[in-house]
Amino acid sequence: MLHTIKKIGVLTSGGDSPGMNAAIRSVVRTCAFHDIECYGIYRGYEGMIEGDFEKMDARSVKGIINKGGTILKSARSKEFRTKEGRATAHAALKKAGIDAFVVIGGDGSFTGAMIFSQEYNFPVMGIPGTIDNDIFGTTHTLGYDTALNTVVEVIDKIRDTASSHNRLFFIEVMGRDVGHIALNVGVGAGAEEILIPEEDLGLDRLLESLRRSKRSGKSSSIVVVAEGDKIGKNVFELKDYVDQNLKEYEVRVSVLGHMQRGGSPSCFDRVLASRMGVKAVEGLITGKSNFMVGLKNDQMELTPLELAVKGKSKIDMELLRVSDIMTI
């Protein structure tokens, strides 16, 4: 059955990422363009349950395209995982007359939206917002490009001190399950080795690579390590291992942490967010539901939420080979 959409809600859920505000702006303005009322839903599903809504118009989202974080705030809601919680959320949406929503978040947020949509035949659309780029159905999630630029800039700075003191740095970046950030910043910042969750390069190879690097006269070495690297050692354990096995190196560790999630979104993320917001709202208007908006071959495409949640986002194996060649 086609729903005639009159009021659309928009929320950000799960971890924040740069570009979320630009996506909120796009959803609100696309609604205004099509004469549809738009409501901001504060603090993710938590605010949906509490009915924490605010009517937004084109001017409510001025001056936010360049801001990191999310003006709608984000949260994780235990209650929304329960039938009762979702029933309360549905009642709150109905009371406000909201008849569809766009959720900007990661796969957990999409799972919640999917379940809710099935239970109440409620139209939903997802916009992938997470720096990890770990979502199937899009080559880029919102915030990923910004995070890459932030991390490369930091590694360049660390390299300055590394080469002044002939040091080896292990730098931990985000990526528990996928190595997109590590692989790309590793290549982009010229790391000697990149340790990712997808491939176990082995400790022997790491030592050999570092020895080779020393022999070739390099004055500094950077090893980029994803949080979930497959060798199974964290950066501090890796430091201990190298301290014991390669006495010629002075080893330091840097864990980049949450700074990777902050900052003003890159131009790429702002444009992507603008395109995604338009596609999400226009998808809902044309009767589509339960999809995620994504970027494929530079086009906006819809992927069923179920696939987006179940599918695996894969790293570019050719880039791994490029990285090997670059560190010769």
Dihedrals phi, psi of 209, to nearest 5 degrees:
-65, -40
Q: Which of residues 259-298 bind ligand ATP (CB under 6 A)?
A: none
Q: Total residues contacting ligand ATP (rule CB under 6 A)? A: 17
Whether the CB-CB separation of 203 and 240 falls below 8 Å is answered with no
Cα(151)–Cα(328) distance, integer angstroms: 23
Rounded to a whole number of angstroms, the minimum distance from the CB of residue 109 to ligand ATP is 3
Of the pair 76, 90, the CB lying nearest ligand ATP is at 76
Report residue 23 as tokens: 């996506």
Residue 132 designated active-site: yes
Interaction between residue 90 and ligand ATP (CB under 6 A): no
Of the pair 220, 265, the CB lying nearest ligand ATP is at 265
Tokens 């819809």 belong to 302
Interaction between residue 106 and ligand ATP (CB under 6 A): yes
Among 111, 138, 150, 220, binds ligand ATP (CB under 6 A): 111
Residue 254 amino acid letter: S
Interaction between residue 42 and ligand ATP (CB under 6 A): no
Report residue 301 as tokens: 């495409």
Residue number with the smallest Cβ distance to ligand ATP: 108
Cα(43)–Cα(11) distance, integer angstroms: 7
Choose the binding region for ligand ATP from 106-114, 165-173, 181-189, 275-283 (rule: CB under 6 A).
Answer: 106-114
State the SS3 of 108-147.
HHHHHHHHHHHHHCCCEEEEEECCCCCCCCCCCCECHHHH
x/- map, 127-166, ligand ATP, by CB under 6 A: ---x------------------------------------
Nearest to 312 by CA among 116, 107, 15: 107
Of the pair 142, 162, the CB lying nearest ligand ATP is at 142
Cα(35)–Cα(39) distance, integer angstroms: 13
Among 14, 197, 228, 294, binds ligand ATP (CB under 6 A): 14
Among 36, 87, 96, 115, binds ligand ATP (CB under 6 A): 115
3-class SS at 57?
Answer: coil
Among 109, 133, 138, 213, binds ligand ATP (CB under 6 A): 109
Of the pair 89, 158, the CB lying nearest ligand ATP is at 89
Whether the CB-CB separation of 68 and 15 falls below 8 Å is answered with no
Among 12, 13, 26, 274, binds ligand ATP (CB under 6 A): 13
x/- map, 64-83, ligand ATP, by CB under 6 A: ------------xx--xx--
Report residue 48 as tokens: 């949906």
Residue 110 amino acid letter: F
The C-alpha angle 162, 166, 167, rounded to 5 degrees, equals: 55
List residues near ligand ATP by CB under 6 A. Answer: 13-15, 45, 76-77, 80-81, 105-109, 111-112, 115, 130
- Active-site positions read 132
